Amino acid sequence: MPESTQDRLLDQLLEYGEEPQGDEFVLDVMHRVRREQGRRKVILFVFGLIGALFGLTGAVLLSEPIARALANLPAMGTTQVALFVVAAVATYAWFMNEDIDLTV
């Protein structure tokens, strides 16, 4: 039974006309991906460094007012408050089943 015209037309449309490109194309794409990943790492590092500098500046600016505020508090009360806060965070983490990953 001869092939119909529609089958031949469909075969022509689905036919891959160009030769597949060699490894050079794949290597070029991978090189571009690596370059963009490197650019992304640099951008993240720069903006992370800028954020760290802003955080450090804020900590330095607030250190004296915080020291003055804590100087008038009793040592035992301050310790108890700190322990209560740590216990509250630990209890929250335990109830919410949060895992703290300390690996880098």
Task: Say what the pLDDT of residue 20 is.
Answer: 63
Closest Cα to residue 55, out of 63, 67, 64? 63
Q: How many domains are there within the chain?
A: 1
Contacts of 92 by beta carbon, 8 Å cutoff, 6+ apart: 98
Q: Please tell me the predicted confidence (pLDDT) of residue 3.
A: 63
Cβ(89)–Cβ(96) under 8 Å? no
Note the pTM of the prediction, 2 decimals.
0.46
* Per-run averaged pLDDT (10 residues), the chain, 104 residues: 73 74 84 96 95 93 84 82 91 78 66
69-80 pLDDT per residue, tens: 778 778 888 888
Whether 50 maps to a domain, the answer reads yes
Q: What is the pLDDT of residue 51?
A: 94
Output the pLDDT for position 104. 59
Report yes or no on 3 lying in a domain: no
**Is residue 57 situated within a structural domain?**
yes
Q: What is the domain extent for residue 56?
A: 22-95
58 domain-assigned: yes
Residue 8 lies in a domain: no
| Distance separating the N- and C-terminal Cα atoms of the chain | 68
Question: 4 lies in a domain?
Answer: no
Could you tell me if residue 82 is inside a domain?
yes
What pLDDT score does 102 carry? Answer: 65
Return the pLDDT at 73.
Answer: 79
